[in-house]
Amino acid sequence: MKIITSIKEMQQYTKEMQIANKSIGYVPTMGFLHEGHLHLVEHARKENDIVIMSIFVNPLQFGPNEDFDRYPRDFERDELLAENAGVQVIFYPSTMDMYPQELSTSVIVKDRVNVLCGKSREGHFDGVATVLTKLFNIVRPNKAYFGLKDAQQVAVVEGMVRDFNIPVEIVPVEIVREEDGLARSSRNVYLSDVERTESPALYQSLKIAKSKIFEGDRDPQAIKQAIFDYLTEHVDAKVDYVEIYSYPDLKPITLIEGKIIIAIAVKFTKARLIDNMTMLI
Ligand code: AMP
């Protein structure tokens, strides 16, 4: 496995791969790898000749009071996990390389951002879209793999790729969970022991919502209330949002039908956890 830190070298590598007619699958991450990331790699391996993973904690997508400084990092561990998972190249640029001076241009996401995490994390998706525009230009992948754990991110990135005719296929990948249902996340390490015991309630509340819907309940308000009630009963944490929208447009709905997303965010002491289910009714 190669570790490339220079943008120029990364672009050169990709050029060589393209000349050799090798397809590139790309997995962008912020590191501190877990099974969720490795599952994206597995998909990328199956569908491409080369798998490139980037590890970059992007300051642009963190708000001033968020966890950029204390975001968990362990490059040596990531290196081992990525190599064992079959990654050929880790692109690991420094912040100075990615942002040598203040940007004179950035990507502003207009649609699908005034809801869910976009609402409580102002500017977050602009930061995501801007760094991905840079990373797509550096890595030039054929396909890029994104987890549905961040379903709003998938919708935003698909919109951006379409708007800007970026020649990459976005591949959404299902959520990977712990055995007790907690969605895998680098931020799960922030949970206290008690919070970790409570945290499967997020997935439980979504499963309850799903069975209500499959039993015929089509009222988004009633379903949201049922989730909220379950969460407040089972976790000692602040429920940030419980929402149901159409997917991937992320528009409010008055009746549950078509493709929808049920999304929740819960703020524990040090970790804000998100989870969701998308379904077609
Ligand atoms: P992150 O390092 O948190 O920015 O995540 C990098 C990629 O991994 C994103 O596309 C995430 O959606 C995806 N990812 C993170 N956690 C999971 C999970 N539990 N299941 C599937 N994909 C995930």
Q: Is 154 in the pocket of ligand 1 (CB under 6 A)?
A: no
Q: Whose CA is closest to 186, among 94, 59, 85, 67? A: 67
Query: Whose C-alpha lies nearest to ligand 1, atom 7?
Result: 29
Q: Give the nearest ligand 1 atom to 32 CA.
A: 2
pLDDT digits (tens, 9 = 90+) for 4-46: 999 999 999 999 999 999 999 999 999 999 999 999 999 999 9
Give pLDDT, residue 223. Answer: 98
Range 265-281 average pLDDT: 97
Candidate list 34, 37, 39, 234, residue with the active-site label: 37
If pLDDT is split at 50, 70 and 90, which confidence band does 97 have? very high
Selection from 189, 160, 176 nearest residue 70 by Cα: 189
pTM of the model: 0.97
**Helices 7-19 & 124-139 angle (0-180, nearest 10):** 50
The secondary structure of residue 243, as a DSSP letter, is E
CA-nearest residue for atom 14, ligand 1, is 147
Q: Say what the alpha-carbon torsion angle 208, 210, 213, 219 is, to the nearest 10 degrees.
A: 70
Q: How many CB atoms lie within 10 A of CB 221?
A: 9
Tokens of 23: 């397809």
Q: Per residue in 132-191, pLDDT tens?
A: 999 999 999 999 999 999 999 999 999 999 999 999 999 999 999 999 999 999 999 999
Q: How far is the CA of 149 from the centre of ligand 1 (A)?
A: 6
Please work out whether the CB of residue 156 comes within 6 Å of at least one atom of ligand 1: no
Dihedral of CA atoms 190, 193, 197, 198 in degrees, nearest 10, equals -60
Farthest CA pair distance, the chain: 58
234 catalytically annotated? no
For residue 149 and ligand 1, the question of a CB distance below 6 A is answered with yes
